[in-house]
Amino acid sequence: MRVSFFGAAREVTGSNILVECAGKRILLDCGLFQGVKLAEERNFAAFAYDPKSVDFIVVGHAHLDHVGRLPKLLREGFQGRIYSTAPTLELTRLVLEDSEKLMSEESKRDNHPPLYLEEDVGGVIQLFETLPYGQSLEIAPGIRLTLMNAGHILGSAISILEAEGKKLAYTSDLGNNPSELLLPPDVVADADFIICESTYGGRVHEDVSRRGAKLNKIIELTISQNGVLMIPSFAIERTQELLHDIEHYCHVGNCAVPRFYLDSPLAEKVTKVFGKYPEFLNGKVGEEFKNGAIFALDRVQITSTVDESKEIDSSPTPKIIIAGSGMMNGGRILFHLQKYIEDSKNSILIVGFQARGTLGRRLVDGEREVRIFGKKYEVGAQIHKIGSYSAHADQPQLVLWLSKIAGLGKIFLVHGEGDESLALSKAIGDKMKADVAIPQQGESYDL
């Protein structure tokens, strides 16, 4: 068994791992490299392997940095099967259709051909075969695949490959536990090798129980200042958690939430997918679904068209706007930022990871002057952060989860900026006896 790391190696985007075993080539995820742009230039470079030679792909979850180069792979000759859970297939279709549109706009601005076309997205979706959690499938003679719940986003999976007498597990991304919406990540009882994410390998998340109070405070501040609260949000999971929390705030806080917009057609579609898979949600939320009003969909104003989105800016304050993209490197949030970022009575609430180079990261780092669509803006708006909305496990959770796996010969840490992976590696070393590697881009290991 040979494993090669071609993405999310000492960084957080572009997840792409090649496993060669029992005469087959299997890719784990095929994600987009993201930064200042939705699709960084690096995505246009040739794959390090021949796409035609890949037999299977296993997709851990539907985030763009895990699925975003699938259509490119198809365009360049991949014709094998793609395995995932059923919600991951549905969400992948939505995410790829959305990003294809955004990237075609980006490519016109940058004056180069797009990474892939609409028809490539359709082609990729045709290749999927879905698997429920816990059911093992022989995908080729001598190779078994099992998907387990990763608790990260709806349908997210830990992939377990068994071949040549070895067992390799890959977390894709591992969820933050407890989650308001999802079941906690499954425990992997045993594995010889694990490839584990390390996004927050060096950090301890804020206590989840405090986030409701923090959110209330920020909403109250917005109301008292007659301002605008902008929440750049990932369309999957984060937005539904926010909708769920703001709904809860309405009921429990018994407060009049101001005008409240969900300005993300993708998030709107994704929220509907959640409704189709109550069995993938934790019991409490599944019950709420049966009783109807979940995710505040009856209260929030959904702006599907561009004209509706533009009208938000002429509506009276105070108001809350949830819009993508989560790292502010594209999407409708940029238009609202252009209008509202300079005024100190407005706020921006950061609820997700902000990769290096993105506008979101600049704001978190306290930069007072930023560029949006090439134009300079003074940052007057207040920047708030709630860390506990993270969909990723933090250091103590990762170490605890890893420590339950029996027989681990080696741990590979991926999907983390260098210092995060290094901090996790040290923490693992303190708590358990394990051989840890932090692979570099392009590095291969014979297992």
Residues that bind Zn ion (CB under 5 A): 63, 173
Question: Which residue, 34 or 346, has its beta carbon nearer to Zn ion?
Answer: 34
Q: What is the CA radius of gyration of the chain?
A: 21
Q: Which is nearer to Zn ion, 63 or 244 (CB)?
A: 63
Q: Smaller CB distance to Zn ion: residue 72 or 392?
A: 392
**Structure tokens, 345:** 């009575």
Least gap, CB of 93 to Zn ion (angstroms): 17
Strand partners, 163: 143, 166
For Zn ion, the closer of residues 156 and 395 by Cβ is: 156
- Contact at 8 Å (CB) between 38 and 330? yes
* Nearer CB in complex with Zn ion: 63/361: 63
CB atoms closer than 10 angstroms to residue 293: 13
Helix, strand, coil percent content, the chain, rounded in steps of 5: 35, 25, 45
Strand partners, 148: 158
CB of 63 to Zn ion, least distance (A): 4
Round to whole Å and give the CA distance between 164 and 134. Answer: 21
State in angstroms the smallest separation of the CB of 66 from Zn ion: 6
State the minimum distance, in angstroms, from the CB of residue 155 to Zn ion: 11
Least CB distance to Zn ion at residue 23 (A): 31
- Residue 43 or 176: which CB sits closer to Zn ion? 176
Would the CA dihedral through 148, 149, 152, 154 be positive or negative?
Answer: positive
Q: How far is residue 285 CA from its own chain's centroid?
A: 21
- Residue closer to Zn ion (CB basis): 59 or 411: 59
Kindly state the smallest distance separating residue 167's Cβ from Zn ion, in Å.
23
Residue 3 or 153 with smaller CB distance to Zn ion: 153
Q: How far is the CB of 156 from Zn ion (least distance, A)?
A: 7
| DSSP labels, 325-382 | -TTSSSSTHHHHHHHHTT-TT-EEEE-S---TTSHHHHHHTT-SEEEETTEEEE--SE
The token pair at 309 is 């989105």
Q: Which residues pair with 26 in a beta bridge?
A: 19, 56
> What 3-state class would DSSP assign to 281?
strand
Instruction: Determine the Cα–Cα distance for residues 118 and 97; give it in Å rounded to an integer.
Output: 7
Judge contact between 131 and 145, C-beta under 8 A: yes
Query: Closest approach of Cβ 390 to Zn ion, in Å?
Result: 10
Q: Which is nearer to Zn ion, 63 or 167 (CB)?
A: 63
CB 221 within 8 A of CB 347: yes
DSSP string covering 53-82: G--EEE-----HHHHTTHHHHHHTT--SEE
At closest approach, how far in Å is the CB of 172 from Zn ion? 7
Cβ atoms of 170 and 414 within 8 Å: the answer is: no
The structure tokens 């940029």 sit at 334
Contact 398, 405 (CB under 8 A): no
Dig out the tokens for 354 from the structure. 């902000």
Least CB distance from residue 325 to Zn ion, whole Å? Answer: 14
Give the nearer residue to Zn ion in terms of CB position, either 25 or 63: 63
